[in-house]
Amino acid sequence: MRHAIDTVMVEQRAASFTRRSIKTDSKQQGLRLALSMIDLTTLEGKDSPEKVRSLCHKAVTPWEGIIEPHLPSVAAVCVYPSLVKVAKRALEGSSVNVASVATGFPSGQYPLEVRLNDVVEAVSDGADEIDMVINRGAFLSGCFDEVADEIAQVRTACGHAHLKIILETGELETLENVRLASDIAIQASASVGPIADGEVFIKTSTGKVSPAATMPVTLVMLESIRDYYEQTGVRIGMKPAGGIKTAKQALHYLVMVKETLGNDWLNPHLFRFGASSLTNDVLRQICKQQTGHYTATYDFSEA
């Protein structure tokens, strides 16, 4: 199952996506698309119902003052399991999903029974998506069957909810390990039953470890997704998370997705950004495209 990775070639290929020329019309479309792919996230010890409700309002209406009246909502709001009910009520009637970081986030070191109960309760409270973390200690110890079994059990516990599997690539040490973890995550998910397109994602990071998402890491994960699609015809989703702060970076990622996986993946059903701070820069760039000047940062609520 291991794949030899030429790190230099991966880095060169990833860098090449940052040099593509994006024309004005394509840039506008790309910015709106990037906005629709964002998972607005709050994962702090000081999170409160009031903060989550505010975030949900921003998710549905990213900026009420913008000239363009029909901006897309973001894809999802991601919260701790204890705040899923609050988010679900706040987003009622909207197209925005509720995601929850169950399974002992961010360490993934809790007893498996605790992690599975975490998932079941979050889904029961209304979570549409579960962002789980793999046990990196087990993976780096070579206990791949243990990692795969835990992923399979979490997918079963998700029931109807979609599953995003966080690899925490900043702790996996090599691109070979990133590819192996990606393959294990996808295969383990498939082991418990058929996967519908977009029902399972692989995700780079929790956002709590540095480095988080990088283009070379994301490219390796996209190639795992591409190979699985070529073998099975099933489209696995992708979510780079952490470290993507500017609209320019987001457009680079979209170019990489298009050239690696094709246009089918250029929608929120199959690609997400886990980068709340990205939202306001995307909004500023949309405004710049429409008016010719940048809006002050204080004109936007905090994401």
The residues assigned a catalytic role are 131, 203, 239
Rounded distance, CA 1 to CA 295, Å?
50
Size of the chain, expressed as the number of residues it contains: 303
Rounded distance, CA 187 to CA 90, Å?
35
> Are 273 and 266 within 8 A, CB to CB?
no
Rounded distance, CA 64 to CA 85, Å?
25
Rounded distance, CA 62 to CA 248, Å?
18
User: Which residue reads 């394509």 in tokens?
Assistant: 26
Q: Where do the H-state alpha helices sit in 75-159?
A: 84-90, 112-124, 136-140, 144-158
Nearest 5°: phi and psi at 273?
Answer: -110, 125
Residue 110 CB contacts under 8 Å (≥ 6 apart), including other chains = 103, 104, 118
> Are 141 and 154 within 8 A, CB to CB?
no
How distant is the alpha carbon of residue 296 from its chain centre? 28
Which residues face 98 on adjacent strands?
77
Greatest CA separation for the chain = 55
Nearest 5°: phi and psi at 227?
Answer: -65, -40
CA distances from 13 to 2, 7, 16, 191, 255 (A): 21, 10, 5, 32, 12
How is residue 40 written in tokens? 């607005």
